[in-house]
A and B are shown apart, each in its own frame.
Chain A
Amino acid sequence: GAVVSQHPSWVICKSGTSVKIECRSLDFQATTMFWYRQFPKQSLMLMATSNEGSKATYEQGVEKDKFLINHASLTLSTLTVTSAHPEDSSFYICSARAQQSIAGEWGEQYFGPGTRLTVT
């Protein structure tokens, strides 16, 4: 159980175009989803937290107009990189967490397999 998928697994796009990445919880309802960015040989950096039905909360330094996050249902969150540039190339990972009564006091996050974005 507790499987999170991401689509696509990798994508190449031209500079100036927009790219949408989907994150789905396959066998549980995710009241909260997290989006991380990972540069090569680096750690995961939290970009934003999204709760179903409400606006995402972005971490300091993350452009909310560039990285649009939508969490319209309890099983799907999307990250849209708008007007992508080569510096946006990275590995994007989402995680999902069930409601607290299920996730427990420490709120286990389940991670997706990641999406490799390359902007040319």
Chain B
Amino acid sequence: AQSVTQPDIHITVSEGASLELRCNYSYGATPYLFWYVQSPGQGLQLLLKYFSGDTLVQGIKGFEAEFKRSQSSFNLRKPSVHWSDAAEYFCAVGGYSTLTFGKGTMLLVSP
């Protein structure tokens, strides 16, 4: 069965500092991997996705993620965090049929 682990429930980062959110997955085949962001009371917005090719993928809002098959990881990074990045971030794995989400990491940005 597929699963996603986001080991950090919440992370606090100073504005302007770099960010890395961790994601580990378990999937029986070549995974499709996603990062979504959710602002309070809102739906999910896709930040980026990976399903083949270059293992470093660029997304919207200056985010990037690196797929490391050997570590079963797909960590999200941003070189300089802005206050507007404060939100909950979900990593997801799936194929064509369904998505399995991690429990999410709440990002807090301090001034």
Contact = CB atoms under 8 A, between A and B. Distances in A.
Contact of A113 (B42, B94, B100): B42
Interface residues of B, number: 22
Interface residues of A, number: 23
A30 B95 CA distance: 17
Interface stretch (A12-20, A70-78, A81-89, A99-107): A99-107
B51 interface: yes
B111 interface: no
Contact of A100 (B36, B42, B96): B96
A67 interface: no
A46 B99 contact: yes
A113 B43 contact: yes
B103 A116 contact: no
B44 A43 contact: no
5 contacts: A44-B101, A49-B98, A93-B43, A105-B51, A106-B96
Interface of B: 32, 36, 41-46, 49, 51, 90, 94-104
Given A43-B103, A105-B96, A106-B51, 16 more contacts: A6-B43, A41-B104, A43-B101, A44-B90, A49-B97, A93-B43, A93-B44, A105-B51, A106-B32, A106-B96, A107-B95, A107-B96, A111-B36, A111-B45, A113-B43, A114-B41
